[in-house]
């Protein structure tokens, strides 16, 4: 019997934070000789063209039938497609096991029942570390009105999939992974490369700027791809950064760059801070920046990709979550890994006060946390030491023979076995018919 070529179909959710880790996985699989089809929209394909066109050792696409579907957890509808095609489906989570476990425990123990308000913190049950979270900060569990159907769909798809892939690595969250594995699953990690859109800044220019700064002295600031803050909050952040006196790279995404923001920058801020604050307007080469030795801290919105990139680069973080999994990711960085210092965001960014344009984090507080993270005090040293440890752990996970490599092998072997079983039973059915 001819050996069946392995063909994985990957379907990310259409948002950069989901497409980027799926592309990482696609490339890792292609490097192992698996034929990979990635389904996305033309716009999203063109945004990631640089990454997609990198050479990979994938065999030519000769329409081998798919052996499995890897479905982003936000695409629960794929369970119907997989069932129709008769192929196994693996869910792909671009959020950590820590989050999945918190969500599971909060729901299982119905913790929020009877709690008097969505600002009241509760303790997440059955965790080795004390974690507090409010109902407003856990929107995955209590989605905004009108989205309950999505939560139910995701949970239904999760319980009927063949297996679970999580973008993490074994030594980062061993206790949380093993608990989650009791439900079902496997784990994977990604490697680092620039991802997503074409950077708006010339990478050389950015690196030359970083080269001119002292080792570990620069704070890098990015709020990811979706969270968008109003002018008043950006101004407050800018003034806090200016008062800190530190060298900074500040990414202001294209959708935040309204004319009012440009006017404010032009009114003096950019001129006053030109020698030490580099503003990137649009897409930044984040992974390259984070791995530069001049970077000493990362102010992040706690998106899971950014959190993992900060961990892999070994930089301590200032945490400023926006929504979705980000508040629990903040708790993970601050309370579990202890590589983060919170900036003080308490409510999700879709909160009406943010939409109205209120300031949620004040300039004095921003100045204070930047100092805590970037100065020479004991706390900053400890944060840096732990971040360096995590970087080493991340490196060994993706090394040859590391846990992430091992997980990938297990996944490929399992799909291969399933494909063989399917081929054998199809042959038997055919023989019976003949």
Residues touching ligand UDP, count (CB under 6 A): 19
Sole binder of ligand UDP in the list 79, 195, 292, 331 (CB under 6 A): 195
3-class DSSP state for residue 111? coil
Question: DSSP letter string over 64-108?
Answer: PPPSEEEEETT-TTHHHHHHHHT--EEEEESS-HHHHHHHHHHHH
Give the Cα separation of 242 and 366 in Å (integer).
Answer: 10
Of 318, 163, 306, the residue nearest 225 (C-alpha):
306
- H-assigned helices in 251-402: 259-264, 270-273, 286-290, 304-313, 326-331, 352-356, 363-374, 378-398
Closest distance of CB 231 from ligand UDP, Å? 20
Closest CA to 387 of 287, 295, 288: 295
Give me the least distance between CB of 109 and ligand UDP, in Å please: 28
Smallest separation, CB 256 to ligand UDP (Å): 11
Please identify, among the stretches 32-40, 96-104, 167-175, 223-231, the one whose residues bind ligand UDP according to the rule CB under 6 A: 223-231
Per CB under 6 A, 349 contacts ligand UDP: no
**Of 224, 230, 316, 342, which one interacts with ligand UDP (CB under 6 A)?**
224
In the complex with ligand UDP, which residue's Cβ is closer, 20 or 235?
20
Q: In whole angstroms, how far apart are CA 201 and each of 162, 169, 198, 215, 286?
A: 42, 31, 9, 22, 11
Q: Does 40 bind ligand UDP (CB under 6 A)?
A: no
- x-or-dash string of contact with ligand UDP, 302-341, rule CB under 6 A: -xxxx--x--------------------------------
Q: Is 318 helix (H, G, I), strand (E, B) or coil?
A: strand
Q: Taking the CB of residue 398, how many other CB atoms lie within 10 A of it? A: 18
Q: Alpha-carbon distance 273 to 209, whole Å?
A: 14
The candidate with the shortest Cα–Cα distance to 327, out of 154, 123, 180, 134, is 134
Which string of x and - marks every residue 239-258 that binds ligand UDP (by CB under 6 A)?
------------x-------
Q: Cβ 203 to ligand UDP, closest distance in Å?
A: 12
Closest separation between CB of residue 75 and ligand UDP, Å? 16
Q: How is residue 274 written in tokens?
A: 């030109």
Of positions 286, 294, 312, 403, contacts ligand UDP by CB under 6 A: 286
Structure tokens at 156: 């239904």
284 lines the binding site for ligand UDP (CB under 6 A):
yes
Give me the torsion for CA of 173, 175, 176, 181, rounded to 10°.
110
Does 168 help bind ligand UDP (rule: CB under 6 A)?
no
- 261, 287, 318, 373: residue in contact with ligand UDP (rule CB under 6 A): 287
Verify binding: residue 22, ligand UDP, rule CB under 6 A: no
Cβ distance to ligand UDP smaller for residue 238 or 285: 285
Identify which range of 12-20, 143-151, 259-267, 412-420 contacts ligand UDP by CB under 6 A: 12-20
DSSP 256: G
Min separation Cβ 421 and ligand UDP, Å: 36
- Which residue in the set 122, 226, 243, 257 belongs to the binding site for ligand UDP (CB under 6 A)? 226
Question: Where on the chain is the footprint of ligand UDP (CB under 6 A)?
Answer: 16-17, 20, 195-196, 222, 224-226, 251, 283-284, 286-287, 303-306, 309
């Amino acid at each position: 019997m001819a050996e069946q070529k392995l063909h994985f179909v990957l379907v990310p959710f259409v948002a950069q934070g989901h497409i980027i880790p799926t592309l990482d996985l696609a490339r890792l699989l292609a490097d192992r000789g698996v034929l990979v089809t990635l389904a996305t929209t033309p716009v999203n394909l063109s945004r990631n063209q640089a990454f997609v066109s990198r050479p990979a050792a994938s065999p030519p696409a000769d329409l081998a039938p798919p052996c499995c579907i890897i479905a982003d957890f936000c695409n629960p509808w794929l369970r119907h497609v997989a069932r129709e095609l008769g192929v196994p489906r693996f869910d792909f989570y671009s959020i950590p096991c820590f989050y999945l476990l918190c969500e599971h425990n909060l729901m299982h123990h119905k913790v929020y029942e009877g709690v008097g308000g969505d600002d009241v913190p509760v303790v997440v049950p059955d965790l080795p570390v004390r974690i507090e979270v409010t109902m407003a900060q856990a929107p995955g569990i209590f989605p905004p009105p009108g989205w309950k159907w999505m939560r139910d769909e995701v949970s239904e798809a999760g319980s009927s999939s063949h297996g679970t892939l999580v973008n993490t690595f074994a030594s980062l969250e061993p206790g949380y992974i093993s608990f989650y594995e009791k439900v079902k699953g496997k784990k994977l990690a990604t490697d680092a490369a620039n991802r997503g859109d074409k950077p708006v800044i010339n990478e050389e220019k950015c690196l030359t700027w970083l080269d001119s700064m002292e080792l570990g002295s620069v704070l890098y600031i990015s709020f990811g791809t979706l969270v968008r803050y109003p002018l008043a909050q950006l101004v407050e952040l800018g003034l806090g950064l200016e008062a800190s006196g530190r060298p900074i790279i500040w990414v202001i995404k294209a959708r935040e760059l309204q004319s009012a923001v440009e006017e404010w920058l032009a009114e003096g801020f950019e001129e006053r801070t030109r020698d030490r604050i580099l503003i990137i307007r649009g897409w930044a080469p984040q992974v390259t920046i984070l791995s530069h030795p001049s970077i000493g801290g990362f102010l992040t919105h706690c998106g899971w990709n950014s959190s993992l990139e900060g961990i892999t680069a070994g930089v301590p973080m200032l945490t400023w979550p926006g929504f979705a999994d980000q508040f629990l990711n903040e708790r993970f960085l601050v309370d579990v890994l202890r590589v983060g210092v919170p900036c003080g965001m308490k409510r999700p960014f879709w909160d009406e006060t943010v939409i109205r344009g209120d300031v949620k984090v004040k300039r004095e507080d921003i100045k204070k946390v930047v100092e805590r993270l970037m100065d020479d005090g004991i706390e900053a040293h400890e944060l840096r030491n732990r971040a360096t440890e995590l970087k080493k752990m991340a490196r060994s996970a993706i090394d040859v023979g590391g846990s992430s490599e091992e997980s990938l092998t297990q996944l490929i072997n399992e799909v291969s076995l399933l494909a063989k079983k399917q081929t054998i039973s199809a042959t038997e059915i055919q023989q019976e018919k003949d």
